[in-house]
Amino acid sequence: MRKTLLSLGLMLVMGISMNAQEYKVITSVESIVPNGLGRSRIINALEEKDYKEFTSVQTEDDNTRNKSDRSEIRVKNFEETKLLNFYNLGGIRFQNIAANDAVITSMINDMISNGWELAFVVSGVESEGGKGDGQGIFITRYIFKK
């Protein structure tokens, strides 16, 4: 009887710990600004924020706003890993893309070796798109879970 209760208790604890998941987002920003003028980086926040502290409720009758200052949202502790820009004076640089792939692969492998699993990858491009098109970034968010 004692062994049965111990086994059931152990299975309950294991079941609870298996259901608890933690997520981590790491973002790469790669410049698509012509002539190599942009900046490309991998950004990893080293502190956590509670979104509820910066959330407000909007209704027709009452506009209750969170009074927190925007500066409180900023993360001051983060890692910044340099990447190469997609373009230089000669145009698109495929070597730079391959180098960025190698650095990002290294980051992903490091996260996996530390017990994280790559759950989702989301990317997008922002570009001015107008005459001259001198602005733009390619952003990718790597969402890991543990």
The answer to whether residue 87 is domain-embedded is: yes
More confident of the two residues 6 and 52: 52
DSSP 3-state of 138: strand
The 10s digit of each residue's pLDDT in 7-63 is 666 666 555 556 679 999 999 999 887 776 788 999 999 999 999 988 888 887 765
The number of domains in the chain is 1
Closest by Cα among 30, 33, 31, 34 to 89: 34
Is residue 109 included in any domain, yes or no? yes
CA dihedral 31, 32, 37, 42 (to 10 degrees): 10
Where b means 16+ CB within 10 Å and e means fewer, 62-79 reads eeeeeeeeeeeeeeeeee
Query: Per the domain annotation, does 2 fall within a domain?
Result: no
> Residue 39: which domain range?
21-145
- Residue 2 has a pLDDT of 66
pLDDT tens for each residue of 54-100: 888 888 776 555 556 777 888 889 999 999 988 877 778 899 999 99
Q: Is 103 within the bounds of a domain?
A: yes
Within 13 A of 30's CA, how many CA atoms are on the CB side? 23
Residue 47 falls inside a structural domain: yes
Residues 15 and 26: their CA atoms lie apart, in Å, by 28
Tokens of 120: 């989702």
> Over the stretch 118-143, which tens digit does the pLDDT of each residue have?
999 999 988 766 676 667 888 999 99
